[in-house]
A and B are shown apart, each in its own frame.
Chain A
Amino acid sequence: MEKSPETTPKKHPWFWSSAVASILLRLVLIIYFPNTLNFSSRPEVSTPITSLRRLAEGYWLKRSSMSPYAGSMYHGSPLLLSIIGPLTVDRSEGQSQLLCCLAFVIADLITAILIRSIGQLLQGADIQSLKSLGAGRFSKISESFPSGDIASLVYLWNPLTIITCLGYSTSPIENLMIVLSLYGACKRLVPLAAFGWVMASHLSLYPVILIIPLVLLIGSGLDTPPRKLFLQLTDGNDYKKTTNGSLHLTNFSWRRVVLFLLWASAWAFYVLVLCGISIKEYSSLGEMFKRTYGFILSVEDLFPNIGVLWYFFAEVFDFFRDFFLIVFHINILFMVLPLAIRLHHRPCFLAFVYIAISSILKSYPSVGDSALYLGLLGLFVNALADMQFSFFLFSGYLGTLLLSPVMHNLWIWRGTGNANFYFATAMAYACFQIILVVESVSSMLNHDRALKKLGNTTVAKKVQ
């Protein structure tokens, strides 16, 4: 986990001062080093989907009455073009970049605040369910660490988030939409959740798979220990807290889910209409689908990035291309169902796992996606207290992220390395991400097992 030392606050006032400090750091970097750091040209930061330079190009094309998708430059949403596009116009010296960066800083801040409130909701639910299970030890831990504060500070102080924010990439907005949908689902604000989900899927397609955790969240509520434990407790008769425990056995509310789906389709329709209006004079919705989702799915751009797909599709023979495209995209879908079955009682954690997996396997990944799931990881800091290899993972992330620009320099600028050098770091990075996902899931399952054991002993005692 990428963590700055400032991220372990004990008291709440810490949070605001630390958050403001991180925002100030961003502003200082934006104002005083606008061009010297040059993060926007890094392949790790800006991808063909998220690059602001491409967006400016698309906006220029649109203003000169051409299709923004002409010439395979822009591949994002037409809505972003209408919202952020005007900010990219160079009114005076360097001011446009400043405005865009400010927009991204605000997006980051809102994301962090939303993560914090998600964390508070989760913590509350966690403490309540643990108490009802009688797991005093665990609930004490839960109370002592404000996971929401930790998570949002991890998100704000994560160097990856800061780099993404300074790198003129639109991923802060994508992240905001994803977090917004999670927040809406946690609060059971169905329209908000639907809006977030539709916008996130519209912007980067992969959040589509988040529908499962969102439906689970809306239908059955926040993360709880497995339902079997509560059932055990109710079986052990005349125990005091059974009434409390039964609170969590609320049935899956189909009504809300249907409402969510209705809202989602309404929002989707609305977004499509808006898109249609905004590009009606220059191109069509069909072209938009082809140039955005088609571009994502068919991996047309083989420019190197920190993912693993570009190298493979640069090498693969043309007539196998379609087959391997299907194989690689199925990879993500393959894991959706088993994980949903295993982790259905913890929908927020499930969402984290989905986001992490899709950011490993997506066609144009950037460090902005990693920043999001590393921030979300902080939400489960209490359950993952005994996670193995945390130090190993930290060193690995640090090493590979520093190695990546060095290898890129060796390949592109010095000319003494080749593509394999850079791809090696991309593979190492993917490996570390996979280890992170595997370890976090297994420690979450271990946590559940520990709770179960605890439940068994209490039940046994009661029987005695």
Chain B
Amino acid sequence: MHLVADHRRSSMATTSEKVEETPKHRPIVRIGLFIIANTLLVSVVCCIAGVLALLLLPVLAKKTYVSENALLPGSASPMISDQDVSRANGFIDELTSMKLNSQNVVIEIPRRIALHMENLGGEVSYHRFQTQSNKYHPLHFVTTPNAEACNVNKTCESYAVNVVGIIRAPRGDGKEAIVLVTPYNPVNLTQNEALSLGIAYSTFSLLSQVSWLAKDIIWLAADSQYGQYNSVAAWLREYHTPSVDGFDKLPSGSCVHDSELDMSIETKVSDTFRRAGTMAAAFVIEVADRGVEGEQDALNIYAEASNGQMPNLDLISVLCYMAVYEQGLPVQVEKLVSLLDSKWLKFIGEVFETVGNIARKLNPQWKFGIPVKEYVEGSATLVTSLYHQALGVPTGSHGAFRDYQVDAITIEFPLKLSSINRGRQTEFLLEGGRLIEGVVRCVNNLLEKFHQSFFLYLLTSSNKFISVGVYMIAFLLLLAPLPVLAASLCSDAKKSIRESEKISKPFKSWSWLHPTKTIFIVHLWGVIVSLLPYFICQIPNSQPASRLLIWASLSLFILIVLILFFGGCSTHWALLKSVTVSTTFIGLCLMSIINFATAEIGALLLVPLCLMIKPWRLAGKAHSAFNLVLVVIGFPGAAFFVLKSAFGLQNGSGLVEFWYWMESLWAWNSATYIYICMVHLPCWVLCVYILLHPC
């Protein structure tokens, strides 16, 4: 009797609850519900808009401008004289002749450079260092740069000497400095390197005499026989983290080079490490041989540092201003040549141009659209810039400076070495010296560190940029469907659960907890996969291809074990997809802040996959086939090869190349590696899991 009453009571309660449940939501919730109700439309519109906005980026690029007033570019006339240049000429001759005559060039050349610096009135010191081989250590990503201990065996191998010359500023307080870097290889000094040393020499010669200098000038002749990045990085590490107890010092007398170098220098070249103030900016000077006739004689600049960081835009715009308006040298940023004659890019450019023309006809005020050639060139530059940023590997030794918050840039002077003679060389040195002098003078005027202009931008040419406020729109439009889809799937799943089980089950709003378990396990697997190379690298005498295979098979094995032990629970696929999509959204958003380019490329691969994926038993045949294609392309390895072949960058055999690529990623502490292992791969695995879901 009681039981019946109880039952009736509870059934009445449920009916009354159903009546109650007609939602009376707040307006903001109602807007959300409206958007969720139209998920398909929103996803399609947002995705198309995102891709379109990405293609529009070269059109939306703005002209660069010098934002910091203190820089005053071009306000002073260049002071570099023929005397400086002729001394530089002599210096170059001496170096090249030494290369031919002297026996022990590895010692003689740094010594000679030091002597010349000394003669110009600089304080000179040697910086001996040992290159640290880039080994993968899993905790490098977490720890701060200072924490990494350098416990390398001190041997005489892989040991090199940087020569550092410092001019103390007559008007400065010694608290700030500007750095000029000239990488050279003492074992095999090429003419390019000799010329870049010459440019630095001529500038150094002038700067040692001028009275307007307010910041110290450091000239670092970096010994690049073990890689120019390594030498600059070693010097910077020593500069910023002084070793108090001399632990890092090489044991004196143990190395032949060491003692010989000391013996052979008669002047007062100091062996103690000399410092100037904090660095305001750094310029890496290089000379490139443009052997091919007819190629444009333009200055090349490289700015990408590790993890897609860029120097302040002011540095680039000042350099471009000085080069273009003062010296008449055109400046260009590296661009992907193979894209320049791509047909579809031209077609898109034409479309945008016609749209722009129509817009101008309607209203002359609307300045929209750029010529096709400009569009294609802009896109090629943009793609290169995105590629370098996404790799997270610096494009030159300027990258080492960015780790210490110093804005740095590599300037590559063009020269046709085949047609060089005395007159041309003098002219070249004068040109280069003037440019460097002008830029140094601008930076010398700075009162604070660079902060006025952008740090987050993409270049479409040397004088056009896209700021973070513009390119983020494209990215967020692409990403916007993900949370909407997650919310709609979640609410649909709840409804279906409610319908399928007549008794209103409690905790229906917590039903997402079950798929969360699966997703947590897959992400845990991602962490394990990212740590595996540390152990694989310890296997001696293994080939890259076999290492890669070991990595893949071990990962697969661990995944299967984990799924068998923990992930066996069957959940509703829609809920699983909902949680997958939202974790992917969080991962991509995080990555867009760490490294925008990686996130953008990752989003282009993952967003369609996440939106389309459906268990093959539920989806139609065409849909499943399309899903399969997306899954194949979405796999990081496959995506790597597809991109490589699309841009015509194929070299070396596939697997080996892929292993080396991964190795370079972790050697450079690239966040892209973390992204691939902890966001992309788990999401891909979950998508495959959903595709094969038995429903």
Contacts and interface: CB of A to CB of B under 8 A. Distances in A.
A38 interface: yes
Main secondary structure of the interface of A (DSSP, over half): helix
Contacts of B144: 38, 413
Nearest to B14: A137
Given A5-B517, A390-B509, A454-B13, A136 B593 contact: no
A36 B590 contact: no
A5 B506 contact: no
A411 to B, nearest CB: 11
Given A3-B513, A390-B510, A457-B12, A414 B520 contact: no
B485 interface: no
Given A38-B143, A392-B487, A414-B309, A5 B520 contact: yes
Interface stretch (A49-57, A290-298, A303-311, A399-407): A399-407
A413 B593 CA distance: 14
Contacts of A273: none
Nearest to B407: A415
A45 to B, nearest CB: 14
B201 interface: no
A392 B487 CA distance: 8
B13 A8 contact: no
A461 interface: yes
Nearest to B455: A416
B512 interface: yes
B9 A453 contact: no
B550 interface: no
Contacts of A458: 9
Contact of B143 (A8, A36, A136, A141): A36
A450 B517 CA distance: 31
Interface string A1-17: 00111001000000000
B599 to A, nearest CB: 12
A141 B506 contact: yes
A385 interface: yes
Contacts of B436: none
Given A416-B455, A416-B456, A457-B16, A398 B9 contact: no
B13 A137 contact: yes
A454 B11 CA distance: 11
Interface in A407-434: 407, 410, 413-417
Contact of A391 (B16, B490, B593): B490
A388 interface: yes
A314 B528 CA distance: 42
B578 to A, nearest CB: 8
A4 B520 contact: yes
Nearest to B450: A415
A276 interface: no
A280 to B, nearest CB: 40
B382 to A, nearest CB: 20
Interface in B479-529: 486-487, 490, 506-510, 512-513, 516-517, 520-521
A87 to B, nearest CB: 24
Contact of A385 (B6, B507, B589, B593): B507
Interface string A363-395: 000000000000000000000011110111011
B16 A410 contact: no
A457 B512 contact: no
B618 interface: no
Contact of A453 (B13, B147, B507, B520): B13
A86 interface: no
Contacts of B402: 414
Interface residues of B, number: 44
Main secondary structure of the interface of B (DSSP, over half): helix
A446 to B, nearest CB: 9
B632 to A, nearest CB: 29
B230 to A, nearest CB: 22
B17 interface: yes
B447 interface: no
Contact of A406 (B10, B405, B594): B594
B354 interface: no
Given A36-B139, A37-B142, A386-B508, A134 B590 contact: no
Contacts of A141: 506
Most buried by A among B10, B506, B508, B583: B506
Contacts of A410: 593-594
B86 interface: no
B236 interface: no
Nearest to B5: A461
Nearest to B311: A416
B586 A398 contact: yes
Nearest to A6: B517
A407 B456 CA distance: 14
A298 to B, nearest CB: 31
B9 A406 contact: no
B96 interface: no
A416 B596 CA distance: 13
A135 to B, nearest CB: 8
B456 A403 contact: no
B357 interface: no
B624 interface: no
Contacts of A391: 490, 509, 512, 578-579, 582
Contacts of B490: 391
A453 B510 contact: no
Given A399-B586, A414-B309, A416-B309, A136 B147 contact: no
Contacts of A399: 586, 589-590
Interface string B136-152: 00010011100100000
Given A38-B143, A385-B507, A415 B13 contact: no
B512 A137 contact: no
Nearest to A41: B144
A395 B586 contact: yes
Interface string A436-464: 00000000000000100110011001000
B16 to A, nearest CB: 6
Contacts of A457: 9, 12-13, 16
A392 B490 CA distance: 10
B503 to A, nearest CB: 9
Contact of A8 (B16, B513, B582, B583): B513
A414 B455 CA distance: 10
Contacts of B509: 385-388, 390-391
A326 to B, nearest CB: 31
A457 B11 CA distance: 11
Interface string A133-173: 01011000100000000000000000000000000000000
A136 B2 CA distance: 11
Nearest to B586: A399
A453 B17 CA distance: 9
Interface in B88-144: 139, 142-144
Interface in A163-190: none
Contacts of B6: 134, 136
B502 to A, nearest CB: 14
A407 B593 contact: yes
Contact of A134 (B9, B309, B487): B9
A403 B13 contact: no
Which 3 pairs show the lowest CB-CB distances between chains A and B? A5-B517, A416-B455, A415-B405
22 contacts: A5-B516, A5-B520, A5-B521, A38-B147, A134-B6, A137-B10, A387-B509, A390-B510, A390-B512, A391-B578, A392-B487, A394-B512, A395-B582, A395-B583, A399-B586, A399-B589, A403-B590, A413-B144, A414-B309, A450-B13, A457-B9, A457-B13
Interface of B: 5-6, 9-10, 12-13, 16-17, 20, 139, 142-144, 147, 309, 402, 405, 455-456, 486-487, 490, 506-510, 512-513, 516-517, 520-521, 566, 578-579, 582-583, 585-586, 589-590, 593-594
Given A387-B510, A395-B486, 15 more contacts: A5-B520, A36-B143, A38-B147, A137-B10, A385-B507, A385-B510, A391-B509, A391-B582, A406-B593, A415-B455, A416-B309, A416-B456, A450-B13, A458-B9, A461-B9
